[in-house]
Protein backbone atom coordinates (compact mmCIF):
# COMPACT_ATOMS: atom_id res chain seq x y z
CA UNK A 1 0.00 0.00 0.00
CA UNK A 2 1.15 3.57 -0.70
CA UNK A 3 2.36 5.77 2.17
CA UNK A 4 -0.22 8.47 1.34
CA UNK A 5 -3.47 8.99 -0.51
CA UNK A 6 -4.08 12.42 -2.02
CA UNK A 7 -7.73 13.05 -2.90
CA UNK A 8 -8.00 15.37 -5.91
CA UNK A 9 -5.55 16.03 -8.76
CA UNK A 10 -6.06 19.82 -8.88
CA UNK A 11 -3.49 22.40 -7.76
CA UNK A 12 -3.83 21.54 -4.06
CA UNK A 13 -3.50 17.79 -4.58
CA UNK A 14 -0.75 17.95 -7.21
CA UNK A 15 1.46 20.27 -5.14
CA UNK A 16 1.02 18.13 -2.02
CA UNK A 17 1.74 14.88 -3.90
CA UNK A 18 4.77 16.38 -5.65
CA UNK A 19 6.24 17.69 -2.38
CA UNK A 20 5.61 14.48 -0.41
CA UNK A 21 7.28 12.38 -3.12
CA UNK A 22 10.16 14.77 -3.87
CA UNK A 23 11.05 15.87 -0.34
CA UNK A 24 10.03 12.91 1.84
CA UNK A 25 10.67 10.17 -0.71
CA UNK A 26 7.33 8.56 0.18
CA UNK A 27 4.88 6.89 -2.19
CA UNK A 28 1.64 8.68 -3.04
CA UNK A 29 -1.61 7.46 -4.58
CA UNK A 30 -3.42 10.42 -6.19
CA UNK A 31 -7.09 9.77 -6.96
CA UNK A 32 -9.57 12.00 -8.70
CA UNK A 33 -13.19 11.20 -9.39
CA UNK A 34 -12.99 12.99 -12.73
CA UNK A 35 -11.37 11.33 -15.75
CA UNK A 36 -8.51 13.83 -15.94
CA UNK A 37 -5.86 15.61 -13.87
CA UNK A 38 -5.48 19.38 -13.21
CA UNK A 39 -8.84 19.91 -11.44
CA UNK A 40 -10.65 23.02 -12.57
CA UNK A 41 -7.53 24.21 -14.38
CA UNK A 42 -7.78 21.29 -16.81
CA UNK A 43 -7.28 22.17 -20.47
CA UNK A 44 -7.48 19.99 -23.56
CA UNK A 45 -7.85 20.22 -27.34
CA UNK A 46 -11.23 20.36 -29.08
CA UNK A 47 -12.03 18.62 -32.37
CA UNK A 48 -10.30 21.45 -34.26
CA UNK A 49 -7.14 21.11 -32.18
CA UNK A 50 -7.77 24.33 -30.24
CA UNK A 51 -6.45 24.16 -26.67
CA UNK A 52 -9.31 25.27 -24.38
CA UNK A 53 -10.13 25.45 -20.69
CA UNK A 54 -12.89 22.97 -19.93
CA UNK A 55 -13.93 24.75 -16.70
CA UNK A 56 -13.73 28.35 -17.87
CA UNK A 57 -10.87 30.79 -18.42
CA UNK A 58 -7.87 30.32 -16.13
CA UNK A 59 -5.33 33.15 -16.12
CA UNK A 60 -2.27 32.70 -13.95
CA UNK A 61 -1.11 35.75 -11.98
CA UNK A 62 0.77 36.19 -8.73
CA UNK A 63 2.89 38.61 -6.72
CA UNK A 64 4.80 35.77 -5.07
CA UNK A 65 8.12 34.82 -6.65
CA UNK A 66 8.22 31.74 -4.38
CA UNK A 67 5.04 30.50 -6.07
CA UNK A 68 6.04 31.33 -9.66
CA UNK A 69 9.53 29.87 -9.06
CA UNK A 70 8.02 26.65 -7.73
CA UNK A 71 5.70 26.21 -10.74
CA UNK A 72 8.52 27.18 -13.13
CA UNK A 73 10.09 23.81 -12.35
CA UNK A 74 7.26 22.21 -14.30
CA UNK A 75 6.57 24.62 -17.13
CA UNK A 76 7.90 27.30 -19.44
CA UNK A 77 5.72 30.39 -19.59
CA UNK A 78 4.10 32.70 -22.12
CA UNK A 79 3.68 36.35 -21.05
CA UNK A 80 0.00 37.27 -21.03
CA UNK A 81 -1.89 40.22 -19.57
CA UNK A 82 -5.65 39.73 -19.39
CA UNK A 83 -7.98 42.49 -20.58
CA UNK A 84 -11.77 42.49 -20.22
CA UNK A 85 -14.52 44.61 -21.72
CA UNK A 86 -17.99 45.01 -20.21
CA UNK A 87 -21.07 45.28 -22.38
CA UNK A 88 -22.92 48.19 -20.76
CA UNK A 89 -25.71 50.31 -22.26
CA UNK A 90 -24.87 49.00 -25.72
CA UNK A 91 -21.15 49.88 -25.51
CA UNK A 92 -18.05 47.80 -24.86
CA UNK A 93 -15.97 49.54 -22.18
CA UNK A 94 -13.04 48.47 -20.00
CA UNK A 95 -13.65 46.68 -16.68
CA UNK A 96 -12.11 47.31 -14.11
CA UNK A 97 -13.67 50.74 -14.52
CA UNK A 98 -10.91 53.18 -15.55
CA UNK A 99 -10.56 56.63 -17.12
CA UNK A 100 -11.56 55.30 -20.56
CA UNK A 101 -14.70 53.68 -19.11
CA UNK A 102 -15.94 56.89 -17.49
CA UNK A 103 -15.12 59.11 -20.46
CA UNK A 104 -16.80 56.78 -22.97
CA UNK A 105 -19.92 56.11 -20.93
CA UNK A 106 -20.54 59.76 -20.12
CA UNK A 107 -19.08 61.40 -23.25
CA UNK A 108 -16.43 63.24 -21.22
CA UNK A 109 -12.72 63.95 -21.56
CA UNK A 110 -11.62 63.91 -17.92
CA UNK A 111 -8.00 63.56 -16.83
CA UNK A 112 -7.04 61.36 -13.88
CA UNK A 113 -7.84 64.01 -11.28
CA UNK A 114 -11.13 64.68 -13.05
CA UNK A 115 -12.10 61.00 -12.90
CA UNK A 116 -11.16 60.85 -9.21
CA UNK A 117 -13.38 63.89 -8.54
CA UNK A 118 -16.20 62.42 -10.69
CA UNK A 119 -16.18 59.22 -8.64
CA UNK A 120 -15.76 60.98 -5.29
CA UNK A 121 -18.82 63.12 -6.04
CA UNK A 122 -20.89 59.96 -6.56
CA UNK A 123 -19.42 57.76 -3.82
CA UNK A 124 -21.80 57.18 -0.90
CA UNK A 125 -20.79 57.37 2.74
CA UNK A 126 -21.00 53.89 4.21
CA UNK A 127 -20.14 53.76 7.89
CA UNK A 128 -19.41 50.05 8.06
CA UNK A 129 -18.28 48.44 4.79
CA UNK A 130 -19.42 44.82 5.19
CA UNK A 131 -21.06 43.71 1.98
CA UNK A 132 -20.27 43.53 -1.73
CA UNK A 133 -22.74 46.38 -2.26
CA UNK A 134 -21.10 48.59 0.41
CA UNK A 135 -17.62 48.20 -1.01
CA UNK A 136 -18.66 49.35 -4.49
CA UNK A 137 -21.16 52.15 -3.72
CA UNK A 138 -18.71 53.64 -1.22
CA UNK A 139 -16.14 53.98 -4.03
CA UNK A 140 -18.07 54.73 -7.22
CA UNK A 141 -21.69 55.43 -6.26
CA UNK A 142 -24.95 53.70 -7.01
CA UNK A 143 -25.35 54.34 -10.73
CA UNK A 144 -22.07 52.69 -11.77
CA UNK A 145 -22.65 49.97 -9.17
CA UNK A 146 -25.97 49.15 -10.80
CA UNK A 147 -24.52 49.21 -14.33
CA UNK A 148 -21.46 47.06 -13.68
CA UNK A 149 -21.88 45.08 -10.47
CA UNK A 150 -25.44 44.50 -9.30
CA UNK A 151 -26.72 42.50 -12.27
CA UNK A 152 -23.52 40.52 -12.79
CA UNK A 153 -23.34 39.59 -9.12
CA UNK A 154 -27.00 38.60 -8.89
CA UNK A 155 -26.49 36.31 -11.90
CA UNK A 156 -23.16 34.89 -10.78
CA UNK A 157 -24.13 34.14 -7.19
CA UNK A 158 -27.94 34.01 -7.20
CA UNK A 159 -27.68 36.59 -4.40
CA UNK A 160 -27.85 40.36 -4.20
CA UNK A 161 -24.44 41.97 -3.53
CA UNK A 162 -25.85 43.17 -0.19
CA UNK A 163 -26.00 39.48 0.84
CA UNK A 164 -22.35 38.72 0.00
CA UNK A 165 -19.15 39.48 1.87
CA UNK A 166 -17.33 42.58 0.65
CA UNK A 167 -14.35 40.48 -0.40
CA UNK A 168 -16.23 39.25 -3.50
CA UNK A 169 -16.66 42.50 -5.47
CA UNK A 170 -13.51 43.92 -3.83
CA UNK A 171 -11.62 41.59 -6.19
CA UNK A 172 -12.38 44.07 -8.97
CA UNK A 173 -10.68 47.46 -8.38
CA UNK A 174 -11.54 50.90 -9.80
CA UNK A 175 -8.88 52.98 -11.51
CA UNK A 176 -8.63 56.62 -12.50
CA UNK A 177 -5.82 56.05 -15.02
CA UNK A 178 -5.85 54.25 -18.39
CA UNK A 179 -4.57 50.87 -17.12
CA UNK A 180 -6.99 48.37 -18.65
CA UNK A 181 -5.39 45.17 -17.40
CA UNK A 182 -7.65 42.91 -15.30
CA UNK A 183 -4.76 42.09 -12.95
CA UNK A 184 -1.77 44.17 -11.87
CA UNK A 185 0.35 41.35 -10.36
CA UNK A 186 4.08 41.36 -11.00
CA UNK A 187 3.95 37.90 -12.62
CA UNK A 188 1.30 37.35 -15.30
CA UNK A 189 2.06 34.38 -17.54
CA UNK A 190 0.31 31.34 -18.94
CA UNK A 191 1.91 27.87 -18.83
CA UNK A 192 3.36 27.65 -22.33
CA UNK A 193 2.07 24.13 -23.12
CA UNK A 194 -1.09 24.51 -21.03
CA UNK A 195 -2.08 23.57 -17.48
CA UNK A 196 -2.59 19.84 -18.02
CA UNK A 197 0.95 19.49 -19.43
CA UNK A 198 2.29 21.31 -16.36
CA UNK A 199 0.37 18.93 -14.06
CA UNK A 200 1.70 15.90 -15.96
CA UNK A 201 5.22 17.05 -15.07
CA UNK A 202 4.26 17.73 -11.43
CA UNK A 203 2.89 14.20 -11.12
CA UNK A 204 5.68 12.49 -13.10
CA UNK A 205 7.70 11.35 -10.04
CA UNK A 206 7.80 7.51 -10.13
CA UNK A 207 6.77 7.50 -6.45
CA UNK A 208 3.39 8.95 -7.52
CA UNK A 209 0.56 6.81 -8.94
CA UNK A 210 -2.51 8.51 -10.41
CA UNK A 211 -5.92 6.80 -10.53
CA UNK A 212 -8.73 8.61 -12.33
CA UNK A 213 -12.48 8.03 -12.13
CA UNK A 214 -12.21 7.00 -8.46
CA UNK A 215 -14.29 8.49 -5.63
CA UNK A 216 -11.92 8.36 -2.66
CA UNK A 217 -14.75 8.58 -0.15
CA UNK A 218 -16.13 5.31 -1.50
CA UNK A 219 -12.90 3.43 -0.67
CA UNK A 220 -13.20 1.65 2.72
CA UNK A 221 -10.68 3.08 5.22
CA UNK A 222 -8.95 -0.31 5.62
CA UNK A 223 -8.25 -0.45 1.87
CA UNK A 224 -6.42 2.86 1.57
CA UNK A 225 -3.40 4.50 3.21
CA UNK A 226 -4.19 5.96 6.63
CA UNK A 227 -2.36 9.19 5.79
CA UNK A 228 -4.53 11.38 3.61
CA UNK A 229 -4.48 14.79 1.95
CA UNK A 230 -8.07 15.75 1.14
CA UNK A 231 -8.83 18.52 -1.38
CA UNK A 232 -12.55 17.90 -2.08
CA UNK A 233 -15.51 19.70 -0.46
CA UNK A 234 -15.07 19.59 3.33
CA UNK A 235 -18.75 18.96 4.05
CA UNK A 236 -18.74 15.83 1.84
CA UNK A 237 -15.84 14.39 3.82
CA UNK A 238 -18.01 14.58 6.96
CA UNK A 239 -21.20 13.29 5.26
CA UNK A 240 -22.69 16.79 5.47
CA UNK A 241 -23.23 16.18 9.19
CA UNK A 242 -24.15 19.81 9.86
CA UNK A 243 -25.96 20.25 6.54
CA UNK A 244 -24.57 21.02 3.07
CA UNK A 245 -22.13 23.89 2.67
CA UNK A 246 -23.33 26.07 -0.22
CA UNK A 247 -21.15 26.19 -3.33
CA UNK A 248 -21.94 28.01 -6.58
CA UNK A 249 -21.72 26.18 -9.89
CA UNK A 250 -21.53 27.12 -13.56
CA UNK A 251 -22.52 25.48 -16.83
CA UNK A 252 -19.95 26.06 -19.56
CA UNK A 253 -21.08 26.30 -23.16
CA UNK A 254 -18.14 25.94 -25.58
CA UNK A 255 -18.99 27.10 -29.10
CA UNK A 256 -16.72 26.65 -32.14
CA UNK A 257 -16.80 29.25 -34.88
CA UNK A 258 -15.41 29.32 -38.39
CA UNK A 259 -13.63 32.66 -38.06
CA UNK A 260 -10.11 33.37 -36.86
CA UNK A 261 -11.27 35.69 -34.05
CA UNK A 262 -14.86 36.32 -32.92
CA UNK A 263 -14.26 39.10 -30.39
CA UNK A 264 -11.63 41.82 -29.91
CA UNK A 265 -11.11 41.17 -26.19
CA UNK A 266 -10.20 37.92 -24.45
CA UNK A 267 -13.28 38.21 -22.24
CA UNK A 268 -16.48 40.23 -22.50
CA UNK A 269 -18.53 40.60 -19.30
CA UNK A 270 -22.31 40.94 -19.48
CA UNK A 271 -23.57 42.67 -16.34
CA UNK A 272 -26.94 43.56 -17.86
CA UNK A 273 -29.37 41.47 -19.93
CA UNK A 274 -27.99 38.05 -20.86
CA UNK A 275 -28.29 34.84 -18.80
CA UNK A 276 -24.54 34.28 -19.07
CA UNK A 277 -22.01 36.36 -17.13
CA UNK A 278 -19.09 36.37 -19.57
CA UNK A 279 -17.78 35.08 -22.88
CA UNK A 280 -14.12 34.19 -23.33
CA UNK A 281 -12.19 33.49 -26.51
CA UNK A 282 -9.43 31.21 -25.30
CA UNK A 283 -7.03 31.81 -28.21
CA UNK A 284 -6.31 35.26 -26.77
CA UNK A 285 -5.09 33.57 -23.56
CA UNK A 286 -3.03 30.81 -25.13
CA UNK A 287 -1.71 32.72 -28.14
CA UNK A 288 -2.54 29.76 -30.34
CA UNK A 289 -2.73 30.53 -34.06
CA UNK A 290 -5.62 28.73 -35.76
CA UNK A 291 -8.03 29.61 -38.60
CA UNK A 292 -11.03 28.68 -36.40
CA UNK A 293 -11.91 29.81 -32.89
CA UNK A 294 -13.83 28.83 -29.77
CA UNK A 295 -15.94 30.86 -27.35
CA UNK A 296 -16.82 29.81 -23.81
CA UNK A 297 -20.08 31.09 -22.28
CA UNK A 298 -20.48 30.87 -18.49
CA UNK A 299 -24.01 30.29 -17.19
CA UNK A 300 -24.24 30.42 -13.37
CA UNK A 301 -26.11 27.57 -11.74
CA UNK A 302 -27.23 26.44 -8.29
CA UNK A 303 -26.63 22.80 -9.21
CA UNK A 304 -23.60 21.01 -10.64
CA UNK A 305 -19.95 20.68 -9.66
CA UNK A 306 -18.96 22.88 -6.71
CA UNK A 307 -16.80 25.68 -8.18
CA UNK A 308 -17.09 28.63 -5.82
CA UNK A 309 -17.43 28.78 -2.04
CA UNK A 310 -19.98 31.53 -1.31
CA UNK A 311 -18.43 34.10 1.03
CA UNK A 312 -21.03 35.28 3.55
CA UNK A 313 -21.15 35.12 7.35
CA UNK A 314 -23.61 32.24 7.77
CA UNK A 315 -21.58 30.04 5.39
CA UNK A 316 -18.35 30.88 7.22
CA UNK A 317 -20.02 29.89 10.50
CA UNK A 318 -21.08 26.54 9.04
CA UNK A 319 -17.60 26.02 7.58
CA UNK A 320 -16.09 26.67 11.04
CA UNK A 321 -18.13 23.75 12.42
CA UNK A 322 -16.61 21.47 9.78
CA UNK A 323 -13.17 22.96 10.28
CA UNK A 324 -13.33 22.02 13.97
CA UNK A 325 -13.99 18.40 12.95
CA UNK A 326 -11.14 18.59 10.42
CA UNK A 327 -8.71 19.77 13.11
CA UNK A 328 -9.54 16.73 15.21
CA UNK A 329 -9.12 14.31 12.29
CA UNK A 330 -5.84 12.50 12.83
CA UNK A 331 -3.74 11.76 9.74
CA UNK A 332 -5.87 13.83 7.31
CA UNK A 333 -4.78 17.19 5.90
CA UNK A 334 -7.37 19.51 4.36
CA UNK A 335 -6.00 21.70 1.58
CA UNK A 336 -7.43 23.75 -1.34
CA UNK A 337 -10.39 25.87 -2.37
CA UNK A 338 -13.12 23.34 -1.52
CA UNK A 339 -11.57 21.75 1.58
CA UNK A 340 -10.82 25.09 3.26
CA UNK A 341 -13.86 26.90 1.77
CA UNK A 342 -11.82 29.84 0.52
CA UNK A 343 -12.40 31.85 -2.69
CA UNK A 344 -8.76 31.35 -3.68
CA UNK A 345 -7.04 31.92 -7.01
CA UNK A 346 -4.64 29.29 -8.33
CA UNK A 347 -1.56 30.97 -6.90
CA UNK A 348 -3.16 31.20 -3.47
CA UNK A 349 -3.95 27.47 -3.55
CA UNK A 350 -0.34 26.72 -4.51
CA UNK A 351 0.87 28.95 -1.66
CA UNK A 352 -1.50 27.30 0.79
CA UNK A 353 -0.40 23.83 -0.32
CA UNK A 354 3.32 24.66 -0.03
CA UNK A 355 2.71 25.98 3.52
CA UNK A 356 0.57 22.93 4.42
CA UNK A 357 3.31 20.64 3.21
CA UNK A 358 5.84 22.29 5.53
CA UNK A 359 3.48 21.81 8.49
CA UNK A 360 2.79 18.21 7.50
CA UNK A 361 6.49 17.49 7.09
CA UNK A 362 7.23 18.89 10.54
CA UNK A 363 4.36 17.00 12.18
CA UNK A 364 4.44 13.55 10.55
CA UNK A 365 7.46 11.28 11.05
CA UNK A 366 8.84 10.16 7.70
CA UNK A 367 8.21 6.55 6.76
CA UNK A 368 10.96 4.49 8.40
CA UNK A 369 12.23 2.72 5.31
CA UNK A 370 12.77 6.05 3.59
CA UNK A 371 14.22 7.90 6.60
CA UNK A 372 16.84 5.20 7.23
Q: Given candidates 27, 30, 57, 151, which one binds ligand FAD under the rule CB under 6 A?
A: 57
Per DSSP, the chain holds a count of helices (H) and strands (E) of: 13, 17
Q: How far is the CB of 86 from ligand UDP (least distance, A)?
A: 5
The residues with which 301 forms a beta bridge, in sequence order, are: 249
Window of 38-46, 122-130, 152-160, 258-266 that interacts with ligand UDP by CB under 6 A = 152-160
Does residue number 41 form part of the binding site for ligand FAD (CB under 6 A)?
yes
Alpha carbon distance 312, 315 (integer Å):
6
Q: Cα–Cα–Cα angle for 25, 350, 266, nearest 5°?
A: 135
Does residue number 344 form part of the binding site for ligand UDP (CB under 6 A)?
no
Alpha carbon distance 14, 304 (integer Å):
23
Window of 19-27, 221-229, 269-277, 335-343 that interacts with ligand FAD by CB under 6 A = 335-343
Q: How far is the CB of 36 from ligand UDP (least distance, A)?
A: 21
Window of 18-26, 85-93, 212-220, 309-317 that interacts with ligand FAD by CB under 6 A = 212-220
Give whichever of 34 and 139 is closer to ligand FAD, judged by the CB atom: 34
Give whichever of 32 and 165 is closer to ligand FAD, judged by the CB atom: 32
Identify whether the C-beta of residue 286 lies closer than 8 Å to the C-beta of residue 280. no
Q: How many chain residues bind ligand FAD (CB under 6 A)?
A: 34
Window of 27-35, 96-104, 135-143, 275-283 that interacts with ligand FAD by CB under 6 A = 27-35
Count CA atoms closer than 13 A to 309's CA, side-chain side: 26
Alpha carbon distance 307, 248 (integer Å):
6
Does residue number 338 form part of the binding site for ligand FAD (CB under 6 A)?
yes
Q: Could you give phi then psi for residue 80, rounded to 5 degrees? A: -155, 125
Residues 33-52 that bind ligand UDP (CB under 6 A): none
The residues with which 79 forms a beta bridge, in sequence order, are: 189
Q: How far is the CB of 57 from ligand UDP (least distance, A)?
A: 8
Does residue number 148 form part of the binding site for ligand UDP (CB under 6 A)?
yes
Residues 230-249 that bind ligand FAD (CB under 6 A): 231-232
Binding mask 245-284 for ligand FAD (x = CB under 6 A): -----x----------------------------------
**Distance (Å) of CA 283 to CA 81, 360, 362:** 13, 39, 43
Q: How far is the CB of 136 from ligand UDP (least distance, A)?
A: 8
Does residue number 355 form part of the binding site for ligand FAD (CB under 6 A)?
no
Does residue number 271 form part of the binding site for ligand UDP (CB under 6 A)?
yes
Residues 286-325 that bind ligand FAD (CB under 6 A): 307
Which residues does 56 contact at the CB level (< 8 Å), separation at least 6? 40, 250, 252, 280, 296, 298
Q: How many residues does the chain have?
A: 372
How does DSSP assign 26-90, residue by residue? Answer: --EEEEESSSSSSGGG-EEE-TT--EEETTS----EES-HHHHHHHHTT--EEE---BEEEEETT
Within 73-150, strands assigned E span 77-79, 84-88, 91-95
Q: How far is the CB of 262 from ligand UDP (least distance, A)?
A: 20
Identify whether the C-beta of residue 168 lies closer than 8 Å to the C-beta of residue 134. no
Instruction: Specify burial of residue 369 (Cβ count, 10 A radius: 0-12, 13-18, 19+).
Output: exposed
List of residues contacting ligand UDP (CB under 6 A): 86, 95, 148-149, 152-153, 156, 168-169, 171-172, 269, 271
* Contacts to ligand FAD by CB under 6 A: 7-13, 31-34, 39-41, 55-59, 215-217, 231-232, 250, 307, 336-338, 344-347, 349
Amino acid sequence: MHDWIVVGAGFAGAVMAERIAAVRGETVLVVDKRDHIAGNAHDRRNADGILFHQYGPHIFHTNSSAISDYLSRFTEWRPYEHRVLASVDGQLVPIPINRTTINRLYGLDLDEAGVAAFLAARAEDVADIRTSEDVVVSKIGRELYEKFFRGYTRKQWGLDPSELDRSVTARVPTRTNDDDRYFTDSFQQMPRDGYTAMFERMLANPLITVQLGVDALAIPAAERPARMVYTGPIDEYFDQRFGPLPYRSLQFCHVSQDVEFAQTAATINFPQDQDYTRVTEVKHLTGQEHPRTMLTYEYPSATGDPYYPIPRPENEALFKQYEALARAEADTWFVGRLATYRYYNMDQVVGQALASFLKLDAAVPRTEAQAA
